[in-house]
Chains A and B, each alone.
Chain A
Amino acid sequence: MMTEADYYALFEAYAHGELAGPARANFEARLAADPALALRYADFTELTGTLRAYGQRQNTRQKLQGLHAAMLAAETPEEQSTEAAAEKSPLTHTVNPMLRISRTERVLREFWNGHRATMGVAASVAVLAVFATLLGLEWWRAAKTQPSMYGYTVLKREVERIKKSQKDLTLTLNQFGRPGTTPPTAKESSGTGFALTSEGYLVTSYHVIQGADSVLVEGNDRKRYHAEPVYSDVKHDLAILRITDKRFTGFGRLPYAIKAGQADLGERVYTLGYPREDVVYGEGALSARSGFQGDTAFYQVSIPVNPGNSGGPLLDERGNLIGVVSGRQNDAQSAAFATKSSYLVRLVDSLAATKPAVPYHLPRYGQLAGSARPQQLKKLKDYVFVVKVFE
């Protein structure tokens, strides 16, 4: 009985051609006849073949590494010689700085070579994200402010619509009462004005008569007069009108005095105006002695005002005129602004100095002090007018 090792001895002898003639023929015959033996022999050849190839592979690898080392060694002397040359003339360092790459720099270079694509992608993503965020924020802010603007315009239209229907109603009523009057057809806007002197000078806001073709003044008694702008002070939003109608005879004595000084914070103030076809009373307090964005020519008052209130008189408790209603701040609660009366006085003084055809006689003393508010208003409303402007 042969052990496996015995077989291997036989195989090796055969493979090396050490078997003599008859033994060899005998072995080959057995190999052909016995498949198990043939398989065993195949395994043996594969094993030894692989072993030898493996040895060769290791040899080759060593050889190649040797070649590589030799190649590098063949290159290095040149570098060394250049370095040696470089040491002789220090200028070469700057001429050829690649010769000395520090360890850190080499690591950095390798990192850069290995990851530049990733870093590029990351950088572009970051840039995109930043811009998308900025744009998104901007868009979001725009979208957020849109509703308030929208609400604002709607509110305005609503007011206009109510005004219009109100006006239609009044007109119908007017026509019913007095069929002779015909409403003017041209584009019109309106504000409030009040008497400045008994000779027929009126005050309103500049923005009321801005771009006016003709100006019509209508009192509480429905009397209408033609008027013309005499002077405009754009900066303080003031305008002075004069009634030019022939049938106008004068206002008579004005019930209020115009205050030349400043009013105090917290004074109770009120106004009369024409935000609609009827005169409307509004009351509040003087909440600041400066106007929109700190403009010292204006007061801030806490009176709810509406379009049409512009140019209305602002009076204190004793019935002194302390200002002219000018405008309001949209994004603040009931913050209205009025031009200080001191500016009006100064303006009138400078106008009077030019010796106009019709002189200015400002009312010096008021008649309202001490009377109750309804009595004050009763006297006052005859001197407050609708200023209708046709463009």
Chain B
Amino acid sequence: MSRGNPTSSSLTPTDDALITAIRSGDERALAHLYRLHWPMVSHFVLQNSGTEDDAQDVYQEGVMVFYEKVRDGSLELSCQIKTYLYAVCRRVWLKRLTSKSRFGVRLVDDEEHGPYLNTGAEEDLLAAEEQDRRFDTMSEALNHLGEPCRSLIEGFYLLDKSMQDLTAEFGYTNADNAKNQKYKCLVRLKKLFFTHYKEESI
């Protein structure tokens, strides 16, 4: 992609096309993107005392940030996707290394990936981390919710099942009963979620 126009630091036509395709939910475009940049990140992580599994984790984290921004439509790229991904993954890996190591960490960078600073990756990553924290709290709250509330909520909101399916699955006499049960569960979840979330943010 960037090979065709290596001097340009802004978006190349293929980058643009990719983003548009991914935004419209094209799985093949995402797969293409994923495959395209994997060697770069994998090489980077392996070079900086990581394992193959570490590389996979880091790369998926990076692509996740990118992908969610693209789906939101809130992505403002000032550089190539490649550079953006490199910056995000570099940042993620640096964080993990620092938390693991007692010493200061020095990363070995590939020069060819250019200026990875000021790509906006930092802020995006911070936002993503905030989001992560929120999700962690949610997962915690769901764990505390107990059955059948948890399955009900997860079924409806996470797995996008229809109320009719859930009614049948959980053996409620009609959809209204299921709905009422769901609302009650939602109230309990809300209490769990907000107490945890607010506590943690203080």
A residues apposed to B, CB below 8 Å: 4-6, 8-9, 12, 43-44, 47-48, 50-58, 60-61, 63-65, 67-68, 70-71, 74, 110, 113-118
Q: Is the CB of B180 within 8 A of A48?
A: no
Q: Is the CB of A51 within 8 A of B49?
A: no
Task: Out of A8, A63, A65, name the residue touching B186 (CB < 8 Å).
Answer: A8
Q: Is the CB of A5 within 8 A of B34?
A: no
Task: Out of A9, A54, A55, A65, name the residue touching B160 (CB < 8 Å).
Answer: A55
**Which B residues touch A6, using CB under 8 A?**
183
Q: Is the CB of A51 within 8 A of B67?
A: no
Query: Does residue B117 face the partner (Cβ distance < 8 Å to A)?
Result: no
> How distant is the Cα of A110 from the Cα of B60 in the complex, in angstroms?
21
Instruction: Give the Cβ gap from A91 to chain B, nearest Cβ, in Å.
Output: 28
User: Which 10 residue pairs across A and B have the least CB separation, nearest first?
Assistant: A55-B158, A5-B183, A51-B157, A8-B183, A114-B49, A67-B34, A4-B187, A64-B60, A5-B184, A54-B135
Please name 7 further chain A to chain B contacts, defined as beta carbons within 8 Å, in addition to the given A47-B194, A67-B35, A118-B103, sorted by A numbering.
A5-B180, A9-B180, A48-B157, A57-B135, A61-B64, A65-B60, A113-B49
**Which B residues touch A9, using CB under 8 A?**
179-180, 183
A53 and B31 contact, Cβ closer than 8 Å, known pairs A43-B194, A61-B60: no
> How distant is the Cα of A50 from the Cα of B160 in the complex, in angstroms?
14
Task: Out of B31, B138, B190, B194, name the residue touching A54 (CB < 8 Å).
Answer: B138
Count the B residues whose beta carbon is within 8 Å of the partner chain — how many? 40
**Which A residues touch B154, using CB under 8 A?**
55
> How distant is the Cα of A217 from the Cα of B153 in the complex, in angstroms?
126
Instruction: Give the Cβ gap from A144 to chain B, nearest Cβ, in Å.
Output: 40
Instruction: Give the Cβ gap from A387 to chain B, nearest Cβ, in Å.
Output: 76
Query: Does residue B159 face the partner (Cβ distance < 8 Å to A)?
Result: yes
Chain A binding surface, main DSSP class: helix
The contact sample of 21 A-B pairs, CB cut-off 8 A, is A5-B186, A5-B187, A43-B194, A48-B186, A51-B138, A51-B158, A52-B157, A53-B131, A54-B135, A54-B158, A56-B68, A57-B64, A61-B60, A64-B60, A67-B31, A68-B56, A68-B59, A70-B31, A71-B38, A113-B49, A114-B49
**Which A residues touch B50, using CB under 8 A?**
113-114
A47 and B189 contact, Cβ closer than 8 Å, known pairs A53-B131, A67-B30, A68-B56: yes
Report how many A-B pairs have Cβ atoms within 8 Å: 92
Q: Is the CB of B131 within 8 A of A63?
A: no
Q: Is the CB of A44 within 8 A of B190?
A: yes
Chain B binding surface, main DSSP class: helix
Instruction: Give the Cβ gap from B136 to chain A, nearest Cβ, in Å.
Output: 10
Smallest Cβ-Cβ distance to A40: which chain B residue:
B190
Flag B34-65 by CB within 8 Å of A: 1 or 0 each. 11001000000010011100001001100110
Q: Is the CB of B157 within 8 A of A63?
A: no
Q: Is the CB of B34 within 8 A of A64?
A: yes
> How distant is the Cα of A65 from the Cα of B31 in the complex, in angstroms?
11
Instruction: Give the Cβ gap from B142 to chain A, nearest Cβ, in Å.
Output: 8
**Which A residues touch B86, using CB under 8 A?**
none
Smallest Cβ-Cβ distance to A58: which chain B residue:
B158
A71 and B64 contact, Cβ closer than 8 Å, known pairs A50-B134, A54-B138: no
> How distant is the Cα of A63 from the Cα of B22 in the complex, in angstroms?
13
Smallest Cβ-Cβ distance to A121: which chain B residue:
B103
